[in-house]
Amino acid sequence: MAVIEPDKIKTDNSALAVTPAAVATIRSLLEQRQIPNHHLRVFVAGGGCSGLQYGMVFEETPEATDTLIEVDGVRLIVDPTSLGYLYGATIDFVDSLMGGGFRIENPNSAGGCGCGKSFKAKDEQEDGTFNEAGGCGTCSSY
């Protein structure tokens, strides 16, 4: 993999909001794994009970087409396709007795499953075309 110079990567710190709790957790994970210079890749992939699912993975080097978001020294990267689904979202970290983890509040989501790990794009129908209704038939009853 080629090393991308930082000034060659598109930066958009308004693309995602990251809460202080999420920043602290990401920073802690980077320290625990002894990878302080890595980025957190946030992405959307097909799958999950609602059609799309969120994913996160640490990567050392961003791709040339990625967008970089830096919040309080923590660097996130997002590929162009995922950014279309995630723009304006907020990443939080919740720690509770019922289960903790990263949560994404996404204004581009028409709904998702109860676990919060998958969602349906706001204007997408089952056949891949778009409409105003959206929503996941399986999860909307919860």
Confidence category of residue 113, pLDDT binned at 50, 70, 90:
low
Q: Could you state, in order of their start, the residue ranges of all structural domains in the chain?
A: 10-121
Q: How much is the pLDDT for 95?
A: 87
Rounded Cα distance between 103 and 90, Å, is 8
- The length of the chain, given as a count of residues: 142
Decide yes or no: CATH 3.90.1150.10 for domain 10-121: no
Q: How much is the pLDDT for 108?
A: 78
Whether the per-residue pLDDT at 49 is higher than 90: the answer is no
pLDDT, one tens digit per residue, over 5-36 is 556 678 999 999 999 999 999 999 999 999 99
pLDDT, one tens digit per residue, over 72-107 is 999 999 999 999 989 999 999 998 877 789 998 888
Query: 129-139 burial, b for 16+ CB within 10 Å, e for fewer?
Result: eeeeebbbeeb
